[in-house]
């Protein structure tokens, strides 16, 4: 699952792949924003992504895009 998190007052987004489901991510984000706590998610490589709930501008959750090999034509 691809996750894109925009943080307020920055020009960059956090983009990563995770094995978590869309429902799991949604629940974690909702709780962090509602309670103004730290959002903590794990990516596919085992790295922990931490974002303050009050700093989240938006979160986009989507299916992983298959990478193409070769020439598109």
According to the model, what pLDDT value does residue 26 have? Answer: 97
Least confident of 17-21, 23-27, 69-73: 69-73
35-67 confidence digits (pLDDT tens): 999 999 999 999 999 999 999 999 999 976 665
According to the model, what pLDDT value does residue 69 have? Answer: 65
**Could you give the CA distance from residue 71 to residue 24 in angstroms, rounded to a whole number?**
36
According to the model, what pLDDT value does residue 52 have? Answer: 97
Residues 53 and 36: beta-carbon distance below 8 Å? yes
CA angle centred on 38, ends 27 and 53, rounded to 5°: 70
Confidence check: pLDDT of 18 > 80? yes
**Could you give the CA distance from residue 2 to residue 64 in angstroms, rounded to a whole number?**
5
* Number of other residues whose CB lies within 10 A of the CB of residue 14: 17
């Amino acid at each position: 699952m691809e996750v894109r998190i925009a943080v307020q007052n920055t020009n960059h987004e956090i983009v990563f792949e995770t094995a978590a489901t869309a429902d799991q991510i949604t629940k974690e984000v909702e709780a962090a924003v509602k309670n103004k706590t730290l959002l903590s998610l794990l990516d596919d490589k085992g790295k922990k992504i931490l974002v303050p709930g009050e700093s989240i501008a938006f979160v986009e959750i989507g299916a992983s895009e298959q990478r193409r090999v070769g020439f598109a034509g």
